[in-house]
Amino acid sequence: MSVFAQYARDATPRRGDRGRAGVVLLSAAFVLVLLLGIVPTPYVIEQPGPVYDTLGTSEHEGTNRPLISIPSQETFPTTGELNLLTVSVLGSPETPPHWLDVATAWFDPSKAVVPVESVFPPDVSRKERDEENRVLMVNSQRDAIAAALLELGYEVPGVITVQGIVEGEPAEGIVEEGDRITSVNGTAVTDYGELQDLIAKNGSDRPVELGLTRDGSAMTLQVTPRQREDASVIGVLVTTDYTFPFDVSIQLDDVGGPSAGMMFALGIIDKLEPGELTGGENIAGTGTIDAQGVVGPIGGIRQKLYGAERAGADYFLAPARNCDEVVGHVPDGLDVFAVSTLDDSLAVLKAVADDTSLADLPRCAAE
């Protein structure tokens, strides 16, 4: 036997060696999977959250109550659904998801993997974030009531009142709780949407001039906004106090933020007007709204599209300013319309209810 043949034969792994190598590889794979399952990540996962029918009921303290109730006015029977969508977040700075969760979410079109700081900014405490979301939801409900009643021809005067000042923000030491903001850079404001838009328009490179009343006295103050992500902020928590002609109650627990405003407004109109706004169809949607009925963009539009599809919706009302995120992410069988105002939304619902052509209604399209 040649030396080469002897070397070749000795270099061939014996059966026992192959068995040991397999055990080592399997063990390594097991350890890798185990690590992926327990090692935290710098991400959180956004996914479709609960869906609520504004024409239906919601649970409150163990009992089901109408999500929208208008006790002193005649209301009319409704059919179909006007569903508002939510986004739930898997993970937090304290309990981030593991790599195995993240890897799975990357391949799920209904989920989004985002940096943890984009949902939980490090300079904002959990208490501050929860309070801000609570105030945003309260404001969205009041704005929705105002928009609906103005659409129906009622007069609805409004006043913006400061509820709190965020510690360390520009307004601290200048604006006080209880102040009533009446103007921004000389332009009168009557709701949160107008206030937010004018501060954004001012930017963070120069002071913004706030007209307000404090203890009955009118004054003008200057605050220089700071840039936080893609918004200019001064760090005040405000509510808009409208004078409504009658009480409208919205009951929805454990949901924060302003994105349900448009669907609240549609639900109120449907209850107060004879006929069926939905035509008996399952319609979902999302979008902020101000008292003038302007529909604004929201976060998590992709997750809300899939939430609507899972809730059985056939039609979806999407803010026109979210169209760039809608295109290419519409689940099969969901008909999506782009809306910029409350009137746009009502036009879609009328066409659906009347079973007329939907071809000419605005939709999101690729540029």
- pLDDT under 70: residue ranges of the chain: 1-39, 60-61, 366-367
Q: Is residue 274 part of a domain?
A: no
Q: Is residue 182 part of a domain?
A: yes
At residue 47, the pLDDT reads: 95
Residue 15 Ramachandran class (φ > 0 left, ψ -120 to 50 alpha, else beta): alpha
At residue 348, the pLDDT reads: 96
Q: Is residue 168 part of a domain?
A: yes
Query: Which residues in 225-305 belong to E strands, given as ranges?
Result: 226-228, 231-233, 236-242, 249-250, 282-285, 288-289, 295-296
Q: Is residue 212 part of a domain?
A: yes
Global pTM value: 0.77
CATH number reported for the structural domain that contains residue 216 in this entry? 2.30.42.10
Distance CA 257, CA 298 (A): 9
For every residue of 129-174, DSSP letters joined together read HHHHHHHHHHHHHHHHHHHHHHHTT----EEEEEEEE-TTSTTTTT
Q: Is residue 184 part of a domain?
A: yes
Residue 170 lies in domain? 157-243
pLDDT tens-digit readout, 169-225: 999 999 999 999 999 999 999 887 789 889 999 999 999 999 999 999 999 999 999
Domain count of the fold of the chain? 1
pLDDT tens-digit readout, 80-128: 999 999 999 999 988 889 888 898 999 999 999 999 998 888 877 878 8
Q: Is residue 198 part of a domain?
A: yes
At residue 24, the pLDDT reads: 55
Q: Is residue 131 part of a domain?
A: no
Distance CA 311, CA 52 (A): 9
